[in-house]
Structure 1
């Protein structure tokens, strides 16, 4: 059966620009009620201006109290169809070249923000029929990469959390999924990921609209036989994910080492 046949409600974090903005735009175009939340309140306010189905708001995903306020504001009836944990940050470079605050910020936003969203969003998703928690993961979670050590570790945590919650919440009728893109043409990659060897070697072949379309598909996908909760984005990512799943660990290590140098 198709899990969703009519517009619903979706809250997107990190919706001020990049992937989050594209996901919000994709669902707005289809008539959904969309919450655009971001630490950049001006950016989401501008995106929502003049659009009655768009609800902007300030949200630092590291703050549980702000999560409570955002959900109360966007979900006055106590229900939410889809929550997209998209907000994330990246600091690239040699591990010891990034200070403790830089590492901590990645953990707090990329992992803590997802945990906070899952905790705060759960009761709203549970009250909605076929509610979905959709987490933005990354191909960096497939194997630890040089110059992306902490970032990759945070996305590996998101991958694991997605798997665990999909099993834990399925009895409540909830679905938990992740999107797994490789490098996407966003400020995170072009600005914060400048100089990464893996970007130079693999290229940037995805744009935010590709991830937004993948989000649309996973929200509307049919239920079939049991399968992984992760959805790769783009052919290049699919090839890498399949190769890493069947290759021995020593070969994955060799390939990643060469791509990252």
Structure 2
């Protein structure tokens, strides 16, 4: 992709990583679609930016996805779609209500699938369109107290790998970002019961992930490599170790971190 400003649609853009990403691309002249279940939050972020389009979007609703994309793209293409919207709940698996497990799956997996489905025609019309999925280091190995959340991110990781191969013929790139814990409300408020949080701490901010998104969007063609991009030194170390260690060793590390 060239350095010429393009178009990008971001879900969960009202706060946290989505907001930081939207603000970064707006500051660099891009046309940005900001969508979130909190319409007031994205309206606040978009205020004063003539190249910003905003609206309400529940990513679980495919019709709402199609309406948002039609509004933002019209008959044209879309350079980047960022599947960022997600939810988290932490704590013992068996003590978590079934409705909470279902909500995590519906937003984090169904929402991403809907985004890919609805976004594909628009990304295909662009020159080297990019689907960028927000994944997580939780996808590397199952995490106690984050069982369902980690499972949803493992699903996103697998979907990214499959579509990266499947959509090559359409000229669409597919990538994911894998940060560890990021200083957002989702972690500091909803993730207070996460077992590994005490051991690893929070060393990333939303701006770090937004900067990583910018780098992925502007990547040049390289030799074959994974579609996943780790964010932060901690994540790079954990990902590299998990890639070469046997499962029993990864299990021991995760168990130790979860104490």
Deviation at 1:195, TM superposition (A): 3.0
**TM-score (norm. length: structure 2):** 0.99
Q: Answer whether contact 1:72 1:78 (CA < 8 A) is retained.
A: no
Which of 16, 25, 28 matches 1:18? 16
Tell me the secondary structure at the aligned position of residue 143 of structure 1.
Answer: coil
Please tell me the root mean square deviation across aligned C-alpha atoms, in Å: 0.6
1:28 paired residue number: 26
Asked whether 1:127 is paired with 2:125, we answer yes
- Contact residue 166 and residue 175 of structure 1 kept, 8 A: yes
8 A Cα contact 1:180 1:237, kept in partner: yes
Shift of 1:196: 1.9
The partner residue of 2:213 within 212, 215, 237 is: 215
Secondary structure of the residue aligned to 2:33 is strand
| TM-score, normalization by structure 1 | 0.98
Out of 65, 68, 73, the residue aligned to residue 63 of structure 2 is 65
User: Which residue does 2:163 correspond to in 1?
Assistant: 165
**Divergent runs of 4+, >2 A:** none
Q: Which residues in structure 2 correspond to 1:154-193 (within 5 Å)?
A: 154-193=152-191
Structure 1: 5+ residue stretches without partners:
none
Q: 1:109-166: per-residue Cα shift (whole Å, max 9, x none)?
A: 0000000000000000000010000000000000001000000000000000000000
Match of 1:198 in 2: 196
Pairwise CA distance, 1:223:
0.7
- Residue aligning to 2:107: 109
CA distance in 2, matches of 1:93, 1:257: 15
Preserved CA contact (<8 Å) 1:4 1:219: no
How much has 1:78 moved relative to structure 2? Answer: 2.7
Partner of 2:116: 118
Once the 2 structures are TM-superposed, how far is the Cα of residue 76 of structure 1 from its aligned partner? Answer: 1.5
**2:43: which partner in 1?**
45
Q: Which residue of 2 aligns with 1:86?
A: 84
Does the 8 Å CA contact 2:145/2:193 hold for their aligned counterparts? no
